[in-house]
Structure 1
Amino acid sequence: MGYYVRVEPNVKVYVEDINPEGKKAILFIHGWPANHNLFEYQFDELPKKGYRCIGVDLRGFGNSDKPFRGYSYDVLADDIRKVVEVLNLEDFILAGHSVGGAISIRYMARHNGYGVSKLALFAAAAPSFTKRPDFPYGFTKEEVSKIIEDTYNDRPKMLEGFGDMFFFQYVTKPFSDWFFQLGLQAAGWATAEVATSLRDESLFSDLEKVHVPTLILHGTHDKVCPFPLAVAQKEVIRNSKLVSFEDSGHGLFWEQRHKFNKELIQFIEK
């Protein structure tokens, strides 16, 4: 079931609600620069186990409206709050990949974890996507600025290069083409603006405000959000569990999808 939720007077975001009668709701927030279809291999399986899977396209991406402004972590977290309210979600699992993980953490801090019983972070871009004087992991700000520049100059080529670093395991040409098309469905300006947020924002203090059980899943070969980011999350978030994926890069939800789905289900049922 797909429909739109109005998050601002002139902005609607697309929501795909799979198995709405399921026993437990999981709200999935996708990473940059894709959309909710990134979780296809979870949506194929988790509803079979009786779960309600809700995928949101962030504003500017997928089927959602694409306003020219409004891509800070605060605004994107506020959009999620509106979706939660409209769907009347309670006691749900909030699950975010990459920048979706960063937005999920900002949601927990900014909205005091409204309605969330558990948090799941997949290769999350936190506490910082970029290197800082006291955090030597991730991209340099100059490298992200180059990605933004390339987005405005030749977005298809930028997306192709990003796809090359996304997966650790071999992907077929058809799968690579599918992944590439997910990125093309976004607006160019939204792709650049969210990359700007990734470059400039941080979540060090936000992590301290997460007070629900948290599952951290992260590939050890991740070239986008290096594994030390997951270690930093584990050190700060109380009542958190870190599971490493030894045969995955940034795309662990596909590269080790059976292990990924098993760990997520065990976490939900615990």
Structure 2
Amino acid sequence: MEYYITVEPGVRIYVNDINPQGEKPILFMHGWPANHHLFEYQYNELIQKGYRCIGMDVRGFGKSDKPVYGYDYDTSADDIRCVIQALNLCDLTLLGHSTAGAVAIRYMARYGGYGVSKLVLCAAAAPSLIQRPNFPYGLKEEDVLQIIYNTYQDRPKMLEDFGEMFFYQPVTEPFSRWFWSLGLEAASWATAYVSCAWLYETLFDDMKCINVPTLIMHGIHDEVCKYPLGVAQHKGIKGSEFITFENSGHGLFYDEKDKFNCELMKFVGEK
């Protein structure tokens, strides 16, 4: 079932509740610059096993509305809260990839994990995507500034370049075109504004607020959210479980999709 959920006047978020009669609901939050179709190869398997898979296009991306504001982590967390409340979700597994992993952490801190019983972070952009004086990991600030510049100058080429560093395992040319097309569905301004948020958003304190079982999955070849970010998440989130993907980059859910799906179902709970 497909919904448009109003999160504030004039802004609607698109949600695809793929198997609403299923059990053990999982809310999939996609990373920049794609949309909920990024998890196609999770949906395909999990719905056959009876799980309820809910894909959400974050504001500015996919089929969601594309205002010129609201691309900070707080507002993104507010959007999640509206979706969870509108669908009356409880005992939910919240899964966030990349930037959405960072937003998921902010949601847990900002709303006390309302409706969420388990958290999954995969290649998450936390506690900081960029290097800082107290955090010598992640991307350099100038790398992000270059992404923003390229977005404004030639967004299709920027997306193509990003796709080339996204996966560690070889992908076919048709698959590359498909992945590239997901980014084109976003608004150009949303693509740039989320990139701007990487420069100032941090989650060091937010991670301390998480008090639900948390699974962290990270590829050692990740060129976007470097592997030490996953290590830092594991250290910063009390009681978290950390699984390394030896043959994956940023797109670990496709690089090693069988392992990813298996670990996800094991963590959520076998049916």
Would you call these one fold, judging by a TM-score over 0.5?
A: yes
| Distance in 1 between residues matched to 2:257 and 2:198, nearest whole Å | 26
1:126-205 to 2 correspondences below 5 Å = 126-205=126-205
RMSD: 0.7
* Whole-angstrom CA distance in 2 between matches of 1:160 and 1:23: 37
State the SS of the aligned residue for 1:60: coil
Query: Shift of residue 199 of structure 1?
Result: 2.1
Cα distance in 1 between the residues matched to 2:140 and 2:222: 16
Counterpart Cα distance in 2 of 1:25 and 1:37: 17
Equivalence for 2:230: 230
Q: CA deviation at 1:130?
A: 0.3
**Partner residue, 2:252:** 252
User: What is the aligned length?
Assistant: 270
SS of structure 2 residue aligned to 1:44: helix
* 3-state DSSP of counterpart to 2:40: helix
**Residue 57 (structure 1) aligns with:** 57
SS at match of 2:155: helix
The separation in 1 between residues aligned to 2:201 and 2:139, in whole angstroms, is: 13
Give yes or no for the alignment of 1:211 onto 2:207: no
Equivalent residue number for residue 66 of structure 1: 66
In the other structure, the counterpart of 2:38 is 38
Amino acid of the structure 1 residue aligned with 2:78: D
Corresponding letter in the other structure for 1:145: L
Distance in 2, Cα, partners of 1:267 & 1:86 = 25
In the aligned structure 2, how far is the partner of 1:27 from the partner of 1:66? 21
Q: Residues 217-253 of structure 1: CA distance to partner in whole angstroms, max 9, x if unpaired? A: 1101000001100000000111210000001000000
Unmatched tracts of structure 1, length 5 or more: none
2:237 and 2:200 map into 1 onto residues whose CA distance is 22
> Shift of residue 48 of structure 1?
1.0
> CA-to-partner distance for each residue in 1:169-195, whole Å, 9 max, x for gaps?
101100000000000000000000001
SS in 2 for 1:45: helix
- Aligned-partner Cα distance in 1 for 2:104–2:145: 24
Residue 9 of structure 1 corresponds to which residue in structure 2? 9
Letter in 1 for 2:119: L
CA distance in 2, matches of 1:114, 1:215: 18
The question of 1:19 aligning with 2:19 is answered yes
Between the two proteins, what is the percent identity of the paired residues?
A: 61
Determine the C-alpha separation between the residues in 2 that align with 1:39 and 1:99.
Answer: 15
